[in-house]
Structure 1
Amino acid sequence: MITRFFNPILLLILSSLALFSSPARATDTDLNDKRQYEFEYRVQQVYTTFGLEGKLNYTAFRQAYIGYLNLAKEGALRPGAPLTVIDFSLPSSQKRLYVIDMVQRRLVLHTYTSHGQGSGADLAKKFSNTPDSHMSSIGFYVTAETYQGKHGYSLRLDGMDKGYNDNARRRAVVMHGADYVSEAFIQKVGRLGRSYGCPAMSWEVYQQVIDKIKGGSCLFIYYNDANYLSQSRYLQLERILATDSETLAITRP
């Protein structure tokens, strides 16, 4: 299996081992190594060209980018759909929701978002896919339809990672505005308020965010969870390396 993270030393070792393999096997290894090198270079290019350095954690972006391409390959995203990343390695007192316009090739929105009551105080540390857990769920989502609910204008989410967030609809995990998401709340309490698992936003930006990402875009809620990272089908880099050039060209710098 190809490693999930670019490692020049590993590539050198693999290339050396290939010299002792059969010609056909060596060619396959060389091709895979070349594709991975090119892919990692592309991710770095996109990250830099889109102006994400110093704003969005590179590891979080890289994983989100892989999932975005895998979802696009499956036809789950509308053409030109934005990529939204929520970085739950950051505390709620920091802006950790990022909306990236893949057509304009830049970060267009960067704001606060809440996590679930059961996930932690300022930092989210526990996650669940279980109804009534009041925890957030990590992984990849595809944004769906909007509706008017108890929180007003809201956005439904379809969790794509089985066992991690695929109960999102059943749990009514949606995006909406909330009084407890604001800088004033942070100054008073030291952190944001918490939801029942929804990534809630401030009243100042929630409608703008929802209007931008609704209807078939990719949302990735990132956390460094070893089990999830090894199990999510959308983080399988091998699927991207074997894909056609048109899919890889979606976000070509």
Structure 2
Amino acid sequence: MTPRVFALFAFLLLCMPFQADATSLRKLPVEKHIETIYRLPEVRSNLDYKTLQMAVSGYMRLRDNGVLGNDDVLTIIDYNKPSVRKRMFVIDVNNNRLLASSLVAHGKNSGQNMAMSFSNIPGSFKSSLGFFVTGQTYQGKHGYSLRLKGIERGINSNAETRNIVIHGADYVSEAFIKRHGRLGRSLGCPALPMGSSHRVIDLIKGGSCLFIYNGDDSYVYDSRLVKPDFAMQSGGGASRRS
């Protein structure tokens, strides 16, 4: 092979999209795993790198500790964005694919179009931040729903007591946004559009990792699942937790 042909061959290899099987992705170091996921166009254009870093780092810690019954997917809800934008992303972490993106509501006492205030207190009607593990599905007053277990003490550990679940809601829709300039709000649940909630719930049920964040650095300092130095990467969150 001549030097010119070799150079052309090397260039073509660099230009090829990265692909890896599930086994190789599982063996990647944390930062390489994050970079691989961040190459997905819709992830790169909708999630900041810090949020993805925290989500993947926490997911891998939970996975390696055997906490997850379903470690094929990672779900991220980014409440740093207004409700009129898609803020939920379901990622196939083994095959480097985005499985779903969706509008998602926040609690009515967390804010109007933006979620600004968060709580772990029953009756607060606020959303909670942090890492959750999805549970089982059931048929409730909102139809097909998914239980959530908050696994961060003092941050979201009352999720089950508060009946914080994923469910469909008619106030989560483009039509509602056109009428009101924002989504409707829940009693603290991350509610999804009625037309797609069933599919999303089936993707993430059975013990997968869900991470909810909004740029609040006080959460980073309180969490035992993310590194405190992540808080040094931004100028500080403006939200409140009670």
Q: TM-score, normalised by structure 2?
A: 0.79
Deviation sequence 1:18-73 (CA, Å, 0-9, x none): xxxxxxxxxxxxxxxxxxxx643442233226862213222211110011011112
Correspondence 1:101 to 2:92: yes
What does residue 36 of structure 2 align with?
45
Cα RMSD, aligned residues only: 1.7
Supply the AA of the counterpart residue of 1:112.
L
How far off is 1:237 after superposition? 8.1
Deviation sequence 1:49-100 (CA, Å, 0-9, x none): 6862213222211110011011112211135420000000000011100000
Structure 1's 176 and 79: CA in aligned 2 closer, same or farther, altered over 3 A?
Answer: closer
Query: How many angstroms apart in 2 are the aligned matches of 1:128 and 1:214?
Result: 24
What does residue 200 of structure 2 align with?
209
Q: Secondary structure at the match of 1:145?
A: strand
Of residues 175, 183, 188, the one that matches 2:174 is 183
What does residue 12 of structure 1 align with?
none
Correspondence 1:167 to 2:158: yes
Query: How many angstroms apart in 1 are the aligned matches of 2:65 and 2:179?
Result: 45
Query: How many angstroms apart in 1 are the aligned matches of 2:213 and 2:199?
Result: 22
Q: How does 1:23-34 map to 2 (within 5 A)?
A: none
What does residue 82 of structure 1 align with?
73
What does residue 20 of structure 1 align with?
none
Supply the AA of the counterpart residue of 1:96.
R
Percent identical? 48
Query: How many angstroms apart in 1 are the aligned matches of 2:162 and 2:187?
Result: 9
Q: Secondary structure at the match of 2:43?
A: coil
What does residue 141 of structure 2 align with?
150
Of residues 58, 64, 68, the one that matches 2:49 is 58
Structure 1's 193 and 234: CA in aligned 2 closer, same or farther, altered over 3 A?
Answer: same
Higher strand share goes to which structure?
2
Does the Cα contact within 8 Å between 1:66 and 1:237 map onto a contact in 2? no
Does the Cα contact within 8 Å between 1:81 and 1:101 map onto a contact in 2? yes
Task: Flag structure 1 segments of 5+ consecutive residues without an equivalent.
Answer: 1-37, 239-253
Deviation sequence 1:182-206 (CA, Å, 0-9, x none): 0000000000000000000011110
Query: How many angstroms apart in 2 are the aligned matches of 1:224 and 1:50?
Result: 21
Q: Secondary structure at the match of 1:221?
A: strand
Query: How many angstroms apart in 2 are the aligned matches of 1:201 and 1:52?
Result: 19
What does residue 59 of structure 2 align with?
68
Query: How many angstroms apart in 1 are the aligned matches of 2:150 and 2:104?
Result: 18
How far off is 1:102 after superposition? 1.7
Higher helix share goes to which structure?
1
Q: Secondary structure at the match of 1:184?
A: helix
- Which piece of structure 1 moves more, 176-185 or 219-228? 219-228
Of residues 115, 119, 127, the one that matches 1:124 is 115
Correspondence 1:192 to 2:183: yes
Q: Secondary structure at the match of 2:139?
A: strand
Deviation sequence 1:147-192 (CA, Å, 0-9, x none): 1111011000000111010000000000000010000000000000
Structure 1's 231 and 51: CA in aligned 2 closer, same or farther, altered over 3 A?
Answer: same
Correspondence 1:133 to 2:120: no
Does the Cα contact within 8 Å between 2:36 and 2:96 map onto a contact in 1? no
Task: Flag structure 2 segments of 5+ consecutive residues without an equivalent.
Answer: 1-28, 230-242
Does the Cα contact within 8 Å between 2:30 and 2:57 map onto a contact in 1? no
Q: TM-score, normalised by structure 1?
A: 0.75
- Which piece of structure 1 moves more, 173-182 or 49-58? 49-58
Supply the AA of the counterpart residue of 2:202.
D
